[in-house]
Amino acid sequence: MSKLLVLNGSVIPSEKSNSHEMARIFLEEYKQANPNDEIITLDLNKLIVGTKTLTTETFSTYWSDEEGMKYINQLKEIDKLLIIAPMYNFHVSGMLKNYIDHVALANQTFSYKYSTKGASIGLLDKLKVQILATQGAPKGWYPWGDHVAYLKGTWEFLGAKVSDPILLAGVKVEPLGSQTPNQIVSTISEEIKKAAKAF
């Protein structure tokens, strides 16, 4: 039995969210293929780890047991991570960035010890990650704002094995812009199901 953590990085209510619809299809297929796995969900909208930003005032307590270390330890205990990641202003949501700031901690999730040539060693090397991403504009419109590359690179830096991310782009322009989340996501549902079975 594996433990799968679902990380909600969307600020949109689930019934109106394309990324939540992607996750729904993914998890439905995943549960059929892995009926005994434990699935844990974190809604970053409702947690300190998602809403507390790193500042001068928060620095001394940012990685306390109640906040950062709790979630770092959780990552060390799970086997798989599913990230729901819409684009906001050319990047991930602020709360997903806050979560990453909490868990990307030297000597906990990565280390420079024993590394060579200035490289680091990721310490989450038992973790598998699947990214489900959306963006309003078609792919490539904002080459400076590739939130999928940021997520993939960050989790690989932390040592995780990242499956090919699934990006649903162009959801705010036609022909997708006037459709419902169910209709929009149906255009890539087979890709999502295939990824879920393999995860």
Residue 89 annotated as lining a ligand binding site:
yes
State the first-to-last Cα distance of the chain, in angstroms, to the nearest integer: 13
Sign of CA dihedral 119, 120, 124, 126: positive
For the chain, state the CA radius of gyration.
Answer: 17
Q: H-helix or E-strand containing 128?
A: strand 128-135
Residue 8 annotated as lining a ligand binding site:
no
Residue 98 annotated as lining a ligand binding site:
no
CA-closest candidate to residue 149, choices 94, 92, 191, 80: 92
Residue 22 annotated as lining a ligand binding site:
no
What distance in Å separates the CA atoms of residue 155 and residue 109, rounded to the nearest whole number?
10
Residue 95 annotated as lining a ligand binding site:
no
Residue 10 annotated as lining a ligand binding site:
yes
What distance in Å separates the CA atoms of residue 67 and residue 124, rounded to the nearest whole number?
18
Residue 26 annotated as lining a ligand binding site:
no
The DSSP string of 67-105 is THHHHHHHHHH-SEEEEEEE-BTTB--HHHHHHHHHH--
Q: Which residue ranges make up the annotated binding site for FMN?
A: 10, 17-19, 87-90
Q: Residues annotated as binding site? A: 10, 17-19, 87-90
